[in-house]
Structure 1
Amino acid sequence: MAEIRNCPKCDSFFNYTGVREVCHKCAQSEEELYQIVYRFLRKRENRAATVERIVEATGADQDLLYKWVRKGRLQPAMFPNLGYPCDNCGHLTTTGKLCSKCQDALKSDLRTFDAAKEFRDGIAARDKATYHGERDNS
């Protein structure tokens, strides 16, 4: 079911159906801008352009480029210098929310945490163990 929302770009009302985050008019202007960016990138000399160069040459918003890469409309395999910022450090990545360096650091931290937990659990189990000695009933 649709709900009424304000367009984040032009502040007009539109029916939000879960497909687009902006009104129809802004979606059309985004699509036109996408076509300009795509035509720019299709030229052989521009395929390795950085995000900054694309913004400079086409007038596209940097966040819009990141959105298109996240959604798969602009493929980093075809345009190797494209990506979007890692949610942790801000370096460009092409998959997921974290770059490979941050993923590796997180995995390392989790391994360290697991090892420390196992060590604490081992100590707790050892401390709970009771030792019964022989009792002298004389």
Structure 2
Amino acid sequence: MAELKTCPSCGQFFNYNGLRDICGKCAMNEEKIYEEVYRFLRKRENRAATIERIVEMTDATETLLHKWVRKGRLQPAMFPNLGYPCDNCGKLTAKGKLCDTCTTELKKDLQTFDAATEFREAMQQQEKATYLAGRKK
């Protein structure tokens, strides 16, 4: 069942059915802008355009471009300078929620944490073994 929501773009109420976060009117407007951006990027000389250049030459905003890349409507494989901000540092990335640098850093931190946990458990086991070995029956 649809629920009543306020469109974040225009402020009008609309029936939210789980498919779009904006009203139908704004969705049609976004679609027109997407068509304009896609026509711009299809030209060979514009395929390597940066986000700033696309915003300058079309009616699109950076937020819309990030949204379309995140949803897969604009493929970074075809347009190499497109991406969306990393959730951690804000650097542009083309896949996932984190950039490669933040992913590597997070993996390193997790490995350090795992090693510290293993060391702590080994020390606890050693203390137990020492305590039990010293007991006489």
The residue correspondences of 1:16-35 to structure 2 (distance < 5 A) are 16-35=16-35
Q: CA deviation at 1:17?
A: 0.4
Q: Quick one: percent identity of the two aligned structures?
A: 64
Q: Which residue of 1 aligns with 2:133?
A: 131
Structure with larger Rg: 1
Q: Which residue of 2 aligns with 1:37?
A: 37
Give me the CA root mean square deviation.
1.2
Q: Which residue of 1 aligns with 2:9?
A: 9
Point out 4+ residue stretches in structure 1 off by more than 4 angstroms. Answer: none
Supply the distance in 2 between the matched residues of 1:16 and 1:134 (Cα, whole angstroms): 73
5+ residue gaps in structure 1?
none
Supply the distance in 1 between the matched residues of 2:60 and 2:125 (Cα, whole angstroms): 61
SS at match of 1:39: helix
**Number of aligned positions between the proteins:** 135
- Which digits, 9 at most, give the CA deviation of each residue in 1:7-64, with x for residues without a partner? 0011101000010010000000000000000000000000000111100110211000
Q: Which residue of 2 aligns with 1:102?
A: 102
Which amino acid in 2 is paired with 1:15? Answer: N
Verify: 1:49 aligned to 2:13, yes or no: no
Verify: 1:75 aligned to 2:89, yes or no: no
TM-score, length-normalised on structure 1? Answer: 0.95
Which amino acid in 2 is paired with 1:108? Answer: K
Q: Pick closer, same or farther for the CA change 1:38–1:122 going to 2, 3 Å.
A: same
Supply the distance in 2 between the matched residues of 1:132 and 1:96 (Cα, whole angstroms): 54
Which amino acid in 1 is paired with 2:18? Answer: G
Higher helix fraction: Structure 1 or Structure 2?
2
- Which digits, 9 at most, give the CA deviation of each residue in 1:54-85, with x for residues without a partner? 00110211000000000000000100000000
Q: CA deviation at 1:128?
A: 1.0
SS at match of 1:73: coil
TM-score, length-normalised on structure 2? Answer: 0.95
Supply the distance in 1 between the matched residues of 2:25 and 2:59 (Cα, whole angstroms): 18
Q: CA deviation at 1:132?
A: 3.8
SS at match of 1:123: helix
